[in-house]
Amino acid sequence: MLQHKKHQECGKPYPFIWDNDANYDDTLAFLYLAHSENLDWKAITIDPIATMPLQWRIETDEFFERQYESKILNMTDKAIVDKTAPQLIVDILNTSACPVVILTTGPATNVAASVAEALDMAPSLASNIREIHMMGSAYGVPGTNNVYDWQMTYNGVKGSCTEDAGQTYTGLSPPLIKNGTKSLIRPECRGVDMSAHGDTEWNVFMDVRAWRMVYGFLASSPADVYVLAANATLNMPVTLEQMELYASQLADPDLRIFVTELAKAFLEAGEAKWWDAQCAVAMDQVLSGQSIGVCSNWAEKKKTSVSLIWRSNLTEGELNPYGSVYDDADAHAPLIDYCLDGNVTQMWEVYWPQVNETN
């Protein structure tokens, strides 16, 4: 078993890396994390794959462009480094005198690649991870799948399924005929209606193998691992009424506008919850020594596996195991604490006062 690096000065704030998919809820998370006294920021990295439904990717780009055009945000590329995200993460693990806290609120692609590279360089690098906090999985509560068939297409264009890379339509291909119906591409996701048969969560679904790899890499690591599961977010929808109420109390006028416009854009996406922002607050509370807060129920020290099995011929009521996370005493994985329930009152009491410090 690897042991954490020992250093007499290793206390708060902790070296911190945040890997995310640059969605609306990550933006909400950033407004909060920017003022955490627990964090010594080392890097923000962005997942390289198609991390969310096509509609969300298009509309997120449009939202930020509007903020630039209205002078609410300023454009700059000064903070962008020449290294890839995995290279940057490995460099930080290699050079940090104190163990690093990692938060991942998107697919775990960068984290999997960086830990794999670190282990190739020197297995001891994994001992320089203090904690990993992850947003994702439908673990613990049946029926909390949040990958839906309606997310797979936007304006007739498919853009959110695991086989998308091979589906560029040239106009020359003959249509696919299935059950007497013509289609330019295979319907649903690899022919499976994820609304009816899914048993996973979006961040896991976008790179299931990466999620499983991270679990495997951490099996012998001293790092503490925390996962905010989908069920913990179900009672935290984003609503315009609520966002306008709290935005009106913010001191900075540009921030008031930004938060309100973000809420409007987020709600256009079809489903809007506090996902990544809730995970960020939960992490911050854990780092402060407060285990019960915005997370009101932890399933502690669970040995779990991530399924890579894909099923295509499913009967009514049968679930596709791909991307599911389940208890497995023989799993090659660390013991993980899963947050299964959220405290919405605690979220508002903690989140908004800290965001009010943003300018």
Whether residues 47 and 159 share a domain: the answer is: no
223 domain-assigned: yes
Whether residues 294 and 171 share a domain: the answer is: no
Kind and range of the H or E run holding 181: strand 181-183
Tell the burial category of 97 from Cβ atoms under 10 Å away from its Cβ (0-12, 13-18, 19+). Answer: exposed
pLDDT tens profile 59-84: 899 999 999 999 999 989 998 999 99
259 domain-assigned: no
Enclosing domain of residue 161: 149-197
pLDDT at 165: 41
List the CATH number of the domain containing 330.
3.90.245.10
Q: Taking residues 292-310, what's their average pLDDT?
A: 97
Whether residues 314 and 338 share a domain: the answer is: yes
- Kindly state the percentage of the chain with pLDDT values over 90: 73
Whether residues 232 and 189 share a domain: the answer is: no
Side-chain half-sphere exposure of 301, counting CA atoms within 13 A = 0
Whether residues 321 and 193 share a domain: the answer is: no
Contacts of 114 (CB under 8 A, 6+ apart): 85, 86, 87, 89, 90, 93
Alpha carbon distance 318, 274 (integer Å): 29
DSSP 262: H
36 domain-assigned: yes
Q: What is the overall mean pLDDT for the chain?
A: 89
Whether residues 136 and 211 share a domain: the answer is: yes
Whether residues 204 and 184 share a domain: the answer is: no
31 domain-assigned: yes
* pTM score: 0.91
pLDDT at 168: 46
Number of domains in the chain: 2
Whether residues 139 and 190 share a domain: the answer is: no
Whether residues 109 and 139 share a domain: the answer is: yes
9 domain-assigned: no
Q: Tokens 């020197």 label which residue?
A: 122
Q: Taking residues 123-129, what's their average pLDDT?
A: 87
